Amino acid sequence: MIVAVPAEKKSLDSAICVSFGRAPFYCIYDTEKENSTFIENSAANSPGGAGIQAAQNLADQHINAVITFRLGDNAAKVLEAAKIELLQALNLSIADNITNLLEDKLVSLSNVHPGYHNGH
Amino acid sequence: MLQILILSGKGGTGKTTVASSFIKLNQAKAYADCDVDAPNLHLVSGQFPEKQDRDYFGLPKAVIDQDLCNGCNRCYEVCHFDAIVVKDGHYSVNPIACEGCSYCMHVCKANAITMHDEPAGLLHLYTRSDEHFSTATLLMGSGTTGKLVTEVKKQLEGAKETAEVAILDGSPGIGCPVIASLSGVDLALMVAEPSLSGISDLKRVVQSAKQLKVPVAVMVNKHDTNEAICSDIETYCKEEGLPFVGKVPYDTEAVRAINEGKTLIEIESKGSEAMKDAYYKTLQVLKEYKGL
Amino acid sequence: MATDRIIAVLSGKGGTGKTLVSVNLAACAENATYIDCDTEEPNGHLFLKPTITEQKTIFSEKPVVDQSKCTACGKCVKACAFNALALVGKNLLIFNEVCHSCGLCSAICKQQALVQQQYPIGSVVQGTSKTLQFYSGQMNIGESSAVPIIKELLKKTHEGIVIIDSPPGSGCLVTETIDHADFCLLVAEPTIFGAHNLAMVHELVTLMGKKCAVLLNKTQAGANPSEEYALKHNLKILGSLAYDEHLAQLSSNALLACEEEEQYRQFFSNLLKEVLDASDSHTQR
């Protein structure tokens, strides 16, 4: 499967970014090929609807799952419509979260919060 | 890093007075002024040796190239924000009214309209050894305060390792700057004033916080200006299950303190003890909400 | 004495006394109109206790998709500057809260699959309080912008004196409110906070080409940074209202000071005259 993780830095040692929509990068990890790439999040600078655009971008990339701390309900709607699995991030590095994923230790995301009007 | 946001609904209840006192008591390493329309926290925060400014870009604005414009009027017809100004057959865009939707650009057959990134404000990050103070100023008439508030909060991420608690001074009202500041905070402390206007506005801002699932605590400032209404506020809190963390009396000395750039707890104020009590109770409520 | 005049009362900083001044000025004027444009937290009704005769829901327009006509081309998603649309497979998702109601998506859709529909965002009320015409607006909790409500409130022309109670700050709600004002009365409190925000709102008012003057409120002994600012910038000071516990109590109980006490009736009547004189020398109506 292909997993996306919002990243603070372009490194597997990086912490997972607390914001899904405005994370500077996403780590895209392929569990079969066991490789990772980092893409820039073009939605990070949107005046509004950053979560929606970020989710749209990931949906367009045919991601299967997202590991995140929290998610706004607008972004969640887009990801769910794209049948992308939402997984709860652990307070560890990206690499350690992926290890947990491979060992089937990650649970479904419970932290979906109501949207906020980011930028009028 | 836990975040406490100080709100009020009604303006002038004492958010900045409370925020600055709490910052002093907490010896906070991370604090921010999210009231980007009327920022004031910097006036009572002392001097900082380091200051970093950067441009904040909000919505792009439409610009009409006069050499290409043929006066067909289509832009004027489609603009929902009355941002196209026509004077003596000359078409221009009012940047204050323009919302950056680009509808005008899409309908202009002369290709005379382009969208430009204009700075909508300035972000400021003040540092003093390991203290981080984040604030911003919005350029006149600019409306993108929601995103700017988010940028202000983001600037505190640098203090994540050293600061346990971040104190955020909020803005009045219940609109997009308040909604943006509420996002992701661990506790919203409402500073209420005992007046009919104050209690009415308090209820609206509490509802806004509840909609965003942010836990709330309430305190009353200037409580002795109307004890009866102060008591009504305490009753309201009991009925709604909102922790009431204290009440601070009105003190004309507060004006003097502020004007000298000091916080209420740095002067001989009859409010100082009450402010300290409210501070400790707020931290207790925060810890209880977080199960710490 | 005066004919049509629109006076906006503003302050930059919240809690300086905009409503106190607006409601008392309106109550002292004969056959005037009071408009409460602080639509996030309206308070004028508490003081003026109007009899409401009309209520109107204010709508914003939001797009709705006809899935049978939508070909999922994605043009609307790309065009939307606010990310209010997302396309997942053939499924078009619309996010009302981030939509700015600009109408572009419906216009750009070649299949006419997107239609604009009415969506309530708040309300306005109209009424009377003795001889005063009363208008007020309220934004629904959770909405981000009250601009359409303010636009509706200020749509009508009124005869005589119009007193507009403005929102705090100096952002888009304030610019919308004072756009049609003839004159701006800036209410300032004697703290550096007050002076700082007075400066901001003075800058805004000047940028918009509006004439203005200052009222110093809650004055007490000691330095007054707002007064210093006004003097330094040649801003006319129309009056000074001292901090008074009794006045504070009256206001906290939403009582009109000009009706409760003679000294305040005199003060606000004089202030009204000063405001009209000051605005007289600037308007060419």
Please name the residues in contact with B161: beta carbons below 8 A apart, sequence gap of 6 or more: none
Among partner residues C103, C145, C249, which is closest to B80 by beta-carbon distance? C103
Among partner residues C16, C101, C207, which is closest to B80 by beta-carbon distance? C101
In this structure, are C27 and C67 located in the same domain? no
Please tell me whether residue C169 adopts helix, strand or coil conformation.
coil
CATH number of the domain where residue C238 is located: 3.40.50.300
Contacts with C, A 55-84, CB within 8 Å: 55-56, 59, 74, 77-78, 81-82
Residues of chain C positioned with their CB less than 8 A from the CB of B102: 79, 81, 104
Position C201: which residue type?
V
Tell me the pLDDT tens digit for each residue of A82-107: 999 999 998 889 999 999 999 999 99
Contacts with A, B 209-248, CB within 8 Å: 211-213
What subunits touch chain A, counting only 3 or more CB pairs under 8 A? B, C
Quickly count: other Cβ atoms within 10 Å of residue C51's Cβ. Answer: 9
DSSP state at residue B244: E
Q: With an 8 Å Cβ cutoff, are B176 and A45 in contact?
A: no
Chain B touched by A48 (CB under 8 Å): yes
Residues of chain A positioned with their CB less than 8 A from the CB of C83: 43, 46, 48-50, 52-53, 56
Token pair for residue C191?
A: 């703290």
Q: Say if strands B165-169 and B2-7 run parallel, antiparallel, or are unpaired.
A: parallel
Distance separating alpha carbons of residues B82 and B105, to the nearest angstrom? 15
Q: What is the pLDDT of residue B174?
A: 78
- Residue C74, phi then psi, degrees to nearest 5: 85, 5
pLDDT at C226 over 80: yes
Distance separating alpha carbons of residues C175 and B168, to the nearest angstrom? 26
Q: With an 8 Å Cβ cutoff, are A78 and C86 in contact?
A: yes
In this structure, are C204 and C253 located in the same domain? yes
Chain A touched by B179 (CB under 8 Å): yes
Chain C touched by B100 (CB under 8 Å): yes
Distance separating alpha carbons of residues C19 and B126, to the nearest angstrom? 35
- Residue C255, phi then psi, degrees to nearest 5: -100, 145
Task: Tell me the domain boundaries of chain A.
Answer: 2-29+52-107
Q: With an 8 Å Cβ cutoff, are B142 and C82 in contact?
A: no
Instruction: For residue B236, give how far its alpha carbon lies from the nearest alpha carbon of chain C (Å).
Output: 17
Residues of chain B positioned with their CB less than 8 A from the CB of C14: 8, 10-12, 38, 172
Mean pLDDT (whole number) for C122-141? 93
Residue C135 is assigned to a structural domain of this protein: no
Residues of chain C positioned with their CB less than 8 A from the CB of B11: 13-16, 41, 168
Q: With an 8 Å Cβ cutoff, are A114 and B213 in contact?
A: yes
Q: With an 8 Å Cβ cutoff, are B180 and A48 in contact?
A: no
Chain C touched by B232 (CB under 8 Å): no
Q: What is the pLDDT of residue C77?
A: 96
Instruction: For residue B220, give how far its alpha carbon lies from the nearest alpha carbon of chain A (Å).
Output: 28
- Residue C59, phi then psi, degrees to nearest 5: -115, 155
Instruction: For residue B144, give how far its alpha carbon lies from the nearest alpha carbon of chain A (Å).
Output: 5
Contacts with A, B 46-105, CB within 8 Å: 57-59, 100
Contacts with B, A 54-73, CB within 8 Å: 70
Tell me the pLDDT tens digit for each residue of A35-83: 999 999 999 878 788 899 999 999 999 899 999 987 888 899 999 999 9
Instruction: For residue B198, give how far its alpha carbon lies from the nearest alpha carbon of chain C (Å).
Output: 8
Tell me the pLDDT tens digit for each residue of C235-275: 999 999 999 989 998 998 999 999 999 999 999 999 999 99
Q: What is the pLDDT of residue B253?
A: 84
Chain A touched by B154 (CB under 8 Å): yes
pLDDT confidence tier of residue A116, bands split at 50, 70 and 90: very low
In this structure, are C184 and C260 located in the same domain? yes
Q: Say if strands A85-88 and B2-7 run parallel, antiparallel, or are unpaired.
A: unpaired
Domain boundary among C120, C142, C172: C120
Distance separating alpha carbons of residues C53 and C73, to the nearest angstrom? 49
Please name the residues in contact with B69: beta carbons below 8 A apart, sequence gap of 6 or more: B91, B110, B112
Q: In whole numbers, what is the pLDDT of chain C averaged over residues?
A: 91
Cβ-contact B58, A47 below 8 angstroms = yes
- Residue A103, phi then psi, degrees to nearest 5: -90, 15
Residue C80 is assigned to a structural domain of this protein: yes
**One digit per residue, pLDDT tens: chain B, 292 residues?**
899 999 998 888 999 999 999 999 999 999 999 988 778 888 888 889 899 999 998 889 999 999 999 999 999 999 999 899 999 989 999 988 898 999 999 999 999 999 999 888 899 999 998 899 999 987 776 665 667 887 898 899 888 888 889 999 998 887 777 877 887 789 999 999 999 888 988 998 998 888 777 899 999 999 998 999 999 999 999 999 999 999 999 988 888 888 888 888 888 788 899 999 999 999 999 999 888 7
Q: With an 8 Å Cβ cutoff, are A81 and C77 in contact?
A: no
Residue C144 is assigned to a structural domain of this protein: no
Chain C touched by B292 (CB under 8 Å): no
Q: What is the pLDDT of residue C1?
A: 46
Instruction: For residue A111, give how far its alpha carbon lies from the nearest alpha carbon of chain B (Å).
Output: 11
Please name the residues in contact with C137: beta carbons below 8 A apart, sequence gap of 6 or more: C36, C37, C39, C42, C58, C122, C123, C124, C125, C146, C149, C150, C152, C153
Closest-approach residue (CA) in chain A for C147? A120
Number of domains in chain C: 2
Q: With an 8 Å Cβ cutoff, are A52 and C172 in contact?
A: no
Chain A touched by B150 (CB under 8 Å): yes
Task: Please give the angle made by the CA atoms of B274, C192 and B13, to the nearest 5 degrees.
Answer: 40
Instruction: For residue B197, give how far its alpha carbon lies from the nearest alpha carbon of chain C (Å).
Output: 6
Residue C50 is assigned to a structural domain of this protein: no
Token pair for residue C123?
A: 């309300």
Chain A touched by B198 (CB under 8 Å): no
Residue C142 is assigned to a structural domain of this protein: no
The b/e string for B99-120 (b: 16+ C-beta within 10 A; e otherwise) is bbbbbbbebbeeebbebeebeb
CATH number of the domain where residue C73 is located: 3.30.70.20
Among partner residues B204, B207, B225, which is closest to C249 by beta-carbon distance? B225
Among partner residues B147, B179, B213, which is closest to A47 by beta-carbon distance? B147
Tell me the pLDDT tens digit for each residue of C39-58: 888 899 999 999 999 999 99
In this structure, are C77 and C114 located in the same domain? yes
In this structure, are C184 and C236 located in the same domain? yes
Residues of chain A positioned with their CB less than 8 A from the CB of B58: 47, 119
Q: What is the pLDDT of residue A115?
A: 53
Q: Which site among B101, B149, B182 would you substitute to test the C interface, given the most C Cβ atoms closer than 10 Å to its Cβ?
A: B101
Q: Which residue has the higher pLDDT, C156 or C283?
A: C156
In this structure, are C16 and C65 located in the same domain? no
Q: With an 8 Å Cβ cutoff, are C87 and A48 in contact?
A: no
Distance separating alpha carbons of residues A41 and A27, to the nearest angstrom? 10
In this structure, are C213 and C261 located in the same domain? yes
**CATH match for A2-29+52-107 among 3.20.20.70, 3.40.50.150, 3.30.420.130, 3.30.930.10:** 3.30.420.130
pLDDT at A117 over 50: no
| Domains of chain B (ranges, CATH numbers) | 2-57+120-290 (3.40.50.300), 61-117 (3.30.70.20)
Instruction: For residue C162, give how far its alpha carbon lies from the nearest alpha carbon of chain B (Å).
Output: 22
Cβ-contact B266, B24 below 8 angstroms = yes
In this structure, are C235 and C273 located in the same domain? yes
Which residue range forms the structural domain that includes residue C100? 60-120
Residue C187 is assigned to a structural domain of this protein: yes
Position B262: which residue type?
K
- Residue C119, phi then psi, degrees to nearest 5: -140, 120
Please name the residues in contact with A117: beta carbons below 8 A apart, sequence gap of 6 or more: A48, B146, B176, B179, B180, C97, C98, C144
Closest-approach residue (CA) in chain A for B182? A116
Instruction: For residue A29, give how far its alpha carbon lies from the nearest alpha carbon of chain C (Å).
Output: 21
Global pTM? 0.79
Closest-approach residue (CA) in chain C for A53? C83
